[in-house]
């Protein structure tokens, strides 16, 4: 009798634990919030534009229909970010088109206007003439731990309103620099499945808030192989603010080149426990030099953030604005220095100091 009672108590405990676990991982509420706010975007090239730019269209694989109409240049996803019809998507999905069509999940169709675009962040802002629309609220990917569940919501392979689930696999991930769509090149990595048509789609947390815009996959075949990448929510939020306010994104720069540390540099600096990002060059009269940054300084903090990788530093800069004053802590030899830097709006190619990409793989824009 005692054994039976013990068994029932243990079984009940296991059942309650299982139910609690299921509730913790139930993502249906997040999906129901995201699905109405994710749209399909089609980019068309008119035949008149094709005639004017025939060579460019041919290189892009676009062929004229020859019927006085237009040709589909690309089909992807977008995210409604306001009730009055503003939509964020990837810049690369426009694919040279001169006409944009947005299809809502309920099949309502609109001509869209391109209101702003930024190639460095690989983001574009569209507008459709409608109000009272469902939209996604911004989330903070910094509050999502590695290993926590996330959802990718988009329109892959002509399958509308599709949800896939995975975890946040990594952050501050840089892709092969030769093919990445964005020069900022710092991504969230997830194993939530993405395929053609998912560019510009939503990556949401378990509460259904937007933490990233899905943009690329790394695959030997061009189809999903377990690795998908999203532009982080902080970069998205800053870009949206600027595109709405100015029509462009106002990027901030240190006017310095930097790279991840490697074993050779650790040994040269004679500090094997040192973490941070190595400054490899400083632009003359730029923001960094004016503030006192030097070549071979190692950046270990950016305001309150401990710096562990070059993509992280690019991401933090992408969330800043020209004229912002930031406190940067560097190691100069064995001495830690805190330096105040007023960020510039100039352009120094900081996104080209990356380790090489992975062999036998390629980065694919998931149109």
Taking the C-alpha atoms of residue 142 and residue 103, their distance in angstroms, rounded to an integer, is 31
Catalytic (active site) residue 191: no
Q: What is the C-alpha separation between 105 and 85, in angstroms, rounded?
A: 14
Residue 143 designated active-site: no
Task: Give strand pairing partners of 256.
Answer: 282
Is 47 an annotated catalytic residue?
Answer: no
Residue from 43, 70, 122, 255 carrying the catalytic annotation = 122
Q: Pick the catalytic residue from 64, 75, 77, 199.
A: 199
Of 64, 92, 205, 320, the active-site residue reads 92
- How far apart CA 81 and CA 208 sit, in angstroms, is 13
Residue positions annotated with a catalytic role: 92, 122, 199
């Amino acid at each position: 009798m005692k054994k039976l009672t013990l068994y029932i108590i243990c079984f009940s405990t296991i059942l309650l634990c299982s139910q609690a676990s299921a509730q913790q991982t139930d993502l249906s509420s997040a999906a129901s919030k995201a699905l109405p706010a994710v749209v399909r975007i089609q980019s068309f090239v008119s035949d008149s534009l094709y005639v004017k730019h025939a060579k460019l269209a041919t290189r892009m694989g676009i062929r004229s229909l020859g019927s006085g109409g237009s040709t589909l240049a690309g089909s992807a996803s977008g995210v409604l970010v306001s009730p009055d019809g503003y939509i964020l998507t990837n810049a690369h999905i426009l694919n040279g088109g001169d006409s944009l069509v947005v299809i809502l999940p309920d099949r309502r169709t609109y001509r869209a206007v391109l209101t702003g675009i930024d190639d460095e962040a690989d983001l574009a802002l569209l507008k459709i003439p409608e109000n009272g629309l469902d939209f996604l609220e911004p989330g903070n990917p910094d509050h999502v731990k590695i290993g926590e569940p996330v959802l990718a919501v988009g329109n892959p392979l002509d399958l509308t309103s599709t949800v896939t689930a995975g975890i946040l696999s990594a952050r501050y991930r840089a892709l092969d620099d030769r093919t990445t769509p964005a020069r900022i090149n710092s991504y969230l990595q997830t194993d939530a499945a993405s395929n053609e048509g998912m560019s510009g789609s939503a990556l949401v947390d378990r509460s259904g808030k937007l933490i990233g815009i899905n943009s690329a996959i790394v695959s030997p075949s061009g189809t999903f192989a377990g690795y998908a990448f999203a532009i982080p929510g902080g970069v998205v939020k800053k870009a949206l603010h600027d595109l709405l306010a100015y029509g462009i994104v106002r990027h901030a720069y240190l006017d310095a080149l930097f790279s991840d540390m490697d074993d050779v540099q650790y040994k040269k600096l004679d500090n094997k426990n040192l973490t941070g990002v190595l400054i490899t060059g400083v632009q003359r009269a730029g923001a960094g030099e004016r503030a006192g940054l030097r070549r071979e300084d190692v950046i270990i903090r950016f305001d309150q953030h401990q710096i562990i990788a070059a993509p992280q530093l690019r991401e933090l800069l992408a969330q800043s604005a020209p004229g912002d004053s930031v406190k940067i802590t560097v190691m100069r030899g064995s001495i830690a220095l805190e330096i105040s830097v007023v960020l510039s709006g100039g352009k120094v190619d900081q996104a080209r100091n990356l380790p090489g990409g992975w062999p036998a793989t390629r980065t694919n824009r998931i149109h």
